[in-house]
Structure 1
Amino acid sequence: MDETGVLLGLTRTHARSEMGTRAYSLNPFYRGSKVTVIGAISIKKVVALMTMNGSMDGIAFELFIEKFLVPNLWSGAVDVN
């Protein structure tokens, strides 16, 4: 089981310009939304996967466990996280 977040509004920190000229930008560091992805895999397959807008919290984690992970587990399965 693992969780990651993707910031959709990040801007570039490096740029190119013609020789002898400077590259300028007025982009803010961060503007946009965040998508969180949480999933569980076994040796043979993806067991559960959930995406959500925003950040993971305890309520969202419980929802993932209850609605996505537990229904796909088999007898003798062990979760390591």
Structure 2
Amino acid sequence: MLPSEQDRPDVARKRKFWKRYQADIDPTRLVFIDETWAKTNMTRTHGRCRKGERLRAKVPHGHWKTLTFLAALRHDRITAPCVLDGPINGRSFQAYVEQFLVPTLKPGDIVVLDNLGSHKGDAARKAIRAVGARMIFLPPYSPDLNPIEEALPGNLCM
């Protein structure tokens, strides 16, 4: 299922431009970034068992947590994996970029991201530029143009 916003003229124009632009890029230079998450309050509250037996299980109660998994996808591998204890925000994304992503980048790499607000911090951009790489953002409403969306299992079931 794809966002209906892709049909808007402004979005369609940006998507067309991206597809033309990407065709001229060396795919070995592309580094796609994405994140997925899991919350402990997603635990099932109902289940099944054999007839006549009571189902008993333990689940977290009232202490909900969010775990965020970030990774980068190159043409031949997933790299820079990281699990954060909490939701993604500008500060945690900056830490991910500086501590996990930047050490894997080479001059000329192109880091491709979606338009999540936490991705747009100046510190993350500067850290990427400092190693000779650059950041570009996908067109809005375009998860289908980011191949890591299919690579991270959480994105398939959320």
Structure with greater strand percent:
1
* Contact 1:47–1:73 (CA under 8 A) maintained in structure 2: no
The total of aligned residue pairs comes to 75
Give the 3 Å change call, closer, same or farther, for CA 15–47 of structure 1 in structure 2. Answer: closer
Q: CA deviation at 1:5?
A: 0.9
Which residues of 2 match residues 1-81 of structure 1 at below 5 A? 1-12=33-44, 15-16=47-48, 32-81=64-113
The higher-RCO structure (CA 8 Å, 6+ apart) is: 1
Cα distance in 1, alignment partners of residues 94 and 86 from structure 2: 16
Identity between Structure 1 and Structure 2 (%): 31
Could you list the runs of 4 or more consecutive aligned residues of structure 1 that deviate by over 3 angstroms after TM superposition?
13-18
Cα distance in 1, alignment partners of residues 89 and 38 from structure 2: 15
Q: CA deviation at 1:11?
A: 3.1
Length-normalised TM-score, structure 1: 0.71
Higher mean displacement: 57-66 or 8-17: 8-17
* Contact 1:10–1:32 (CA under 8 A) maintained in structure 2: no
Q: Which runs of 5 or more residues in structure 2 are unaligned?
A: 1-32, 52-58, 114-158
Q: Which runs of 5 or more residues in structure 1 are unaligned?
A: 19-26
